[in-house]
Structure 1
Amino acid sequence: MTSRPHAEPPRPRLVVVGSGMAATRLVEQLVARSAPARMDITVLGDEDTAPYNRILLSAVLEGTHRPEALTLRDEQWYADNGVDLRLGARVLGIDRERQDVMLVDGTLVEYDVLVLATGSIPSLPPIRGLVRMDGSLHEAVHAFRSLADCRRLLAALPHGRRAVVVGGGLLGLQVARALGVRGIGTEVVEGADHLLHQQLSAPAARILARDLKKLGVAVYTGARAVRLVEGPTGPALRLDNGFTLDTDLVVLTAGGRPSTALARGAGLEVRRGIVVDDRLSSVTDPSVHALGDCAEHDGRTTGFVPPAWEQAEILAGVLCDDAVKYDGARIVARLRATDLDVAVLGDAAAELAAGGEVVEVANPVSGSHRRLVVRDGRIVAATLVGDLSRVGLITQHFDRQTVLGPNEPGELLLPQRAAGSGTRGVVLPDDAEVCACAGVTAGRIRACSSLEQVRDTTRATTGCGGCASTVRQLLSSRPALVTKGS
């Protein structure tokens, strides 16, 4: 009697909904673990463009990057690594009982494990006149969330010399600075009492506003735009304080919320975001995971690249049966805009409420404001404006939760010269973090022979771009020194 050959067990089917920065990082981590050899991976992206870096859209608007330079991984990379990337594949709904997703064209994609990386969507501010009677945006109004939005705004620039940016958060300031670089007279309207109100204290925000004014960008805080009207010279934005700002362009950067419609439709628990546990699994259905802007862990959603990429690395381990968990502790943000330097670590408000103490050094004359929140000798939050020369060392202590001596927090905030470094640069140790987005150390950068190799193998410089100057210095043939201002 001849024995029948054993049938191969079916390969698990992993479907990722979304092709943004979090989803791309997840796929990269899965490829690094050789997961495509063990499972079928399908990525569904609703845009027609290969995955790209949204954080650097303002650099395209500014003119320092070409649109194609934002591509994270092209279609050929996915094909070469055995991943099925489908662009222009918008998902209509999820059937958890049948374990499939339906695209708008009626195509069904079956899954065993589903990952939702749907990101966030802009919310339209309550400004009358933004939307025409037919439901379309006024021709002067522009969203700024996608590459298509960026291209539409670029096409409009030759027809206008004045712009109002609605929203004084990270994105709004990046857009405002980019428009200023293009020679557009730009004004920022922020409803809160100061810029970056969720990240900065009022004194630090005042320094930032002054820097913007020097760069030709006017700032209105504590004021809300209420109506878009037709003025004698074109569109005008009316504020609730009585001012009316004449403009040619209105750019909406205020307000965004996690994209959760698919999750809600599928019956998953959603609060602000899709509620997940320490393994980034939906608390409703363990076969469904969420990461990035759409996920809510421990009551918190994030809108930054570093936690999204950290989640991607953790989830790749979970999907490959590693014993890993996500603690949600790492929040790092950088403002990427020419001549504006801002870095934020942790949640200062929460840490102060938990008993943290403030160590602060400010020099309004030089335009710098540096603040640490310290609890039990450890840096638990930090905001740095105008001088990022020590951001690498501070981030290293923040990540490692180093217990510092009583004088060390203050010394970390002093300029390098005053702290005893003289005119010489500071040598970064190999284990010092250089790229906060991807968690890349100086040693890993030094091991690379070119900027292209750095980007391809470590993903440094492909997040917010704030580490680019330091990476270039580390790659140079001269001794690897990081000088003040890098």
Structure 2
Amino acid sequence: MSPAGERRIVVVGAGMAAARLVEGLVARGLGPQVTVLGKEHHAPYNRILLSAVLEGTHDAGALTLRDPAWFAEHGVDLRLGVRVVEVDRGRRVVRTVDDTGAEAEVAFGRLVLATGLIPKLPPIRGVVDRKGHLHPKVHAFRTMADCRDLLAVLPDARRAVVVGGGLLGLQVARALAGRGLACEVVEGSEHLMSRQLSAPGGQALARDLRRLGTSVYTGSRAVRLTDEGLVLDNGFTLSTDLVILTAGGRPAMALARDAGLTVRRGVVVDSRLASVDDPEIHAIGDCAEFVDAEGVARTTGFVSPAWEQASLLAEILAGEERAYRGSRSVARLRATDLDVAVLGEPEEMNADEQTEVVEIFNPLAGSYRKLVVRHGVIVAATLVGDLSHVGLITQHYDRGTRLGPDEPGALLMPPRPTGPTRLHDSTEICSCAGVSAGEVRACSSLEQVVETTRATTGCGGCKEAVCQLLGTTTPQEARALG
């Protein structure tokens, strides 16, 4: 291998985690040593906000995290529309193929796998023909190309069925409803967002959806697509013009597996986010699996831990002594008129002698709030229908604040009407990027906030709070920004 190859950092994948990693490497002067290989033809973009493009509240161009000119300006070799087909660990090269079939090799000193997820295709007869092509009514929703394909057919559609009642499925359902389509959601589990919410939380969310005009079928699976519509296993047939598949995905591990690296639910990495088999090959984001100090193996699934991993790996690749110890998990549902936040993994923590659960459930109002507390410290939380205290709860969760016996209950109660409250500078505003109120106040414009802190570039749920802190809008105007 040439000396240049020995120094080169090759990143496989050009998604949100890869973009954050490259930003960190550029900040440390390593841009000219970096090559980014992306399968899509679009520069890295905010995948979380694709549903906002579908809804019509965001322009597709606004989702770009860094355009090709930025990569070129900082000496980064960005190659789009290329697929990595092999990692040759012995020769320290990756082999790529572009759309024309042309092959190439790229030498690496360090390799970073940021390959994300592969969408799952549910076992529904009729959605794929014998040649492997999707039925004209059926659309996946994972990439910018998927979004554009779906937008192209919306003018001729009146009814849609979304298969999958997780975060993405609900965002797509609300986006389609916002476009005027009659929308129905089919979820095989007994309640919506079953990976994040308990049954009461899922029921509250379903009630909110029905109130907004979207039908929900839980505990039912789609089994067949016919000329009459989508057939469920309970015998119902849902007449529809469109079927959108959002039923999750699995970590993209084929490259790692074929290269002889240890994979389980993801590519198994150590505290340096390096493969346990090869210290010069790293994995971050959805495709990585880290075993924490308690021996629990975890994959991320959300942007905030992926960005945390990317930022830390940039420091490691720059020669800094850092160790990854796991990430907090904060999930926000970004959908019009639906408010959901999940901190940690509340459904994996059962009440015992050390752990207590505080819950408030109002099925009539469609609200559900839950805190999981251990030794007075919030270790997980669920909020559905009322996020008025999410900032304070997140702050206590992050800091491990020891609460008094009455404080958990008070945190779940609706806020009392009072005058304006000034948030402390340490209060977290953007959970995706880990940005505090003080960091926002230090900026003079929304553009400066985006450039220096990356707040609002994740799920977008903090934009209203950021604008209010900047004093650039009224609460109503900030809310209208989406």
With normalisation by structure 2, the TM-score equals 0.94
Partner of 1:433: 428
Deviation at 1:409, TM superposition (A): 1.1
Contact 1:392 / 1:433 at 8 angstroms: preserved in 2?
Answer: yes
Structure-2 change in CA distance of 1:312 and 1:142 (3 Å): same
Contact 2:6 / 2:108 at 8 angstroms: preserved in 1?
Answer: no
Residue 109 (structure 1) aligned with residue 102 (structure 2):
no
Equivalent of 1:156, from 153, 163, 166?
153
Deviation at 1:162, TM superposition (A): 0.5
SS at 1:336's partner residue? Answer: coil
Partner of 1:64: 57
Amino acid at match of 2:262: E
Partner of 2:456: 461
Q: Deviations over 1:259-289 (max 9, x none)?
A: 1111111111111110101111001111100
Amino acid at match of 1:383: T
Partner of 2:334: 336
Equivalent of 1:212, from 204, 209, 212?
209
SS at 1:340's partner residue? Answer: coil
Q: Deviations over 1:385-412 (max 9, x none)?
A: 1111111111111111111111111111
Listed as ranges, the matches of 1:283-322 within 5 Å are 283-298=276-291, 299-322=297-320
Partner of 1:408: 407
Contact 1:169 / 1:196 at 8 angstroms: preserved in 2?
Answer: yes
Amino acid at match of 1:210: R
CA–CA separation in structure 1 for the residues paired with 2:367 and 2:420: 20
Partner of 1:222: 219
CA–CA separation in structure 2 for the residues paired with 1:11 and 1:135: 41
Amino acid at match of 1:144: F
Amino acid at match of 1:466: G
Q: Deviations over 1:52-92 (max 9, x none)?
A: 00000000000000100100000111111121111112111
SS at 2:238's partner residue? Answer: strand
CA–CA separation in structure 2 for the residues paired with 1:478 and 1:228: 48
SS at 1:312's partner residue? Answer: helix
Listed as ranges, the matches of 1:245-264 within 5 Å are 245-264=238-257
SS at 1:211's partner residue? Answer: helix
Structure-2 change in CA distance of 1:9 and 1:448 (3 Å): same
Contact 1:13 / 1:112 at 8 angstroms: preserved in 2?
Answer: yes
Partner of 1:365: 364
CA–CA separation in structure 2 for the residues paired with 1:83 and 1:443: 32
Residue 86 (structure 1) aligned with residue 79 (structure 2):
yes
With normalisation by structure 1, the TM-score equals 0.93
Equivalent of 2:41, from 21, 26, 48?
48
Deviation at 1:225, TM superposition (A): 0.4
Structure-2 change in CA distance of 1:55 and 1:478 (3 Å): closer
Q: Deviations over 1:371-390 (max 9, x none)?
A: 11001111000010111111
Q: Deviations over 1:390-438 (max 9, x none)?
A: 1111111111111111111111111110xxxx33233211011000000
CA–CA separation in structure 1 for the residues paired with 2:238 and 2:275: 46
Contact 1:329 / 1:346 at 8 angstroms: preserved in 2?
Answer: no
Contact 2:187 / 2:217 at 8 angstroms: preserved in 1?
Answer: yes
Amino acid at match of 2:198: S
Listed as ranges, the matches of 1:437-452 within 5 Å are 437-452=432-447
Equivalent of 2:115, from 92, 108, 118?
118
Contact 1:121 / 1:256 at 8 angstroms: preserved in 2?
Answer: yes
Partner of 2:9: 14
CA–CA separation in structure 2 for the residues paired with 1:74 and 1:383: 36
Deviation at 1:177, TM superposition (A): 0.4
SS at 2:349's partner residue? Answer: helix
Partner of 1:475: 470
Residue 395 (structure 1) aligned with residue 390 (structure 2):
no
Gaps of 5+ in 2: 292-296
Deviation at 1:106, TM superposition (A): 1.4
Contact 1:195 / 1:205 at 8 angstroms: preserved in 2?
Answer: yes
CA–CA separation in structure 2 for the residues paired with 1:337 and 1:46: 28
CA–CA separation in structure 2 for the residues paired with 1:406 and 1:438: 31
CA–CA separation in structure 2 for the residues paired with 1:110 and 1:168: 42
Partner of 1:4: none
SS at 2:128's partner residue? Answer: coil
Equivalent of 2:270, from 257, 273, 277?
277
Runs of 4+ in 1 over 6 A off after TM superposition: 8-11
Amino acid at match of 1:253: T
Amino acid at match of 1:255: G
Contact 1:11 / 1:40 at 8 angstroms: preserved in 2?
Answer: no
* Matched positions, count: 468
Residue 175 (structure 1) aligned with residue 172 (structure 2):
yes
Contact 2:308 / 2:327 at 8 angstroms: preserved in 1?
Answer: no
CA–CA separation in structure 1 for the residues paired with 2:234 and 2:145: 33
Q: Deviations over 1:434-466 (max 9, x none)?
A: 000000000010111111111111110100011
Contact 2:5 / 2:107 at 8 angstroms: preserved in 1?
Answer: no
Q: Deviations over 1:16-38 (max 9, x none)?
A: 000000000111112222233xx
CA–CA separation in structure 2 for the residues paired with 1:478 and 1:99: 52
SS at 1:474's partner residue? Answer: helix
Listed as ranges, the matches of 1:364-383 within 5 Å are 364-383=363-382
Amino acid at match of 1:266: A
- Structure 1 vs Structure 2 CA RMSD: 2.0
SS at 2:230's partner residue? Answer: strand
CA–CA separation in structure 2 for the residues paired with 1:331 and 1:291: 15
Partner of 2:294: none
